[in-house]
Amino acid sequence: MSYLLHIDSSSLGTGSVSRTVADTARAAWGGPVVHRDLAASPVPHLSAAGITARVTDRNQHTPEQAQAIAVQDELIEEFLGAGAYLFTVPMYNYTMPSVFKAWLDQIMVVDRTLNFGAEGPAAAGRPAILVSARGGGYGPGTPNHGKDFVVPALETILGDPHCLGLDLRTITPELTLAPVNPALAALIPLHEASLAGAHEQARFHVRKFTELHSV
């Protein structure tokens, strides 16, 4: 069985709700896991050297280009070597943590992970779970509806066949601030229900993926 690649971007460590739900998914997986914690060891943001190195013969690389392409090679090989994916990407200020965006920019390379021809992207159809906890509620009827700029973007980047094309499932435990903000105390039962549902979804999706995919 190929490994599950867990890309984690939460800065909270053991206090992270996204991480606790991801732990449930990893426990249900039961196979080998490669874990890259971007909060503990962030990858560099994409530079001019990294961009130009992609379209320059490797024999002609400057030292800066060689260093930049070595980072991309490591991350891309790790990504393509996985049979399934787990992304821990909480909402920070309405969007994704910058460390996760930096990782995406490093691995999204035409003719390596991206392909706009008939064959599609290299990892197309591989199962993936996105866990994105948020402090408030962002569903229809809530004051924050329409202000979630994490999930819509990542469902396009990770799941669209014109991008990475993964078979993506999204889990969004909400109202994580309710237990710590007295003004939101009345919402604690809703938070607890959302969190319990998130853990159950994590177990369910992993079980279904292992049934439906040879990974």
- The type of residue at 169 is R
Question: What is the reported pLDDT for 210?
Answer: 80
Average pLDDT of 121-144? 93
Give me the CATH code for the 4-212 domain, please: 3.40.50.360
Cβ atoms of 69 and 42 within 8 Å: the answer is no
C-alpha distances out from residue 205 to 25, 52, 200, Å: 8, 39, 9
Q: What does pTM read for this prediction?
A: 0.93
CA nearest 136: which of 88, 195, 191?
191
CA nearest 150: which of 89, 86, 88?
89
Which three-class secondary structure state does DSSP give residue 33?
A: strand
pLDDT digits (tens, 9 = 90+) for 134-190: 999 998 988 899 999 999 999 999 999 999 999 999 999 999 999 999 999 999 999
Residue length of the chain:
215
Q: Domain coordinates of the chain in residue numbers?
A: 4-212
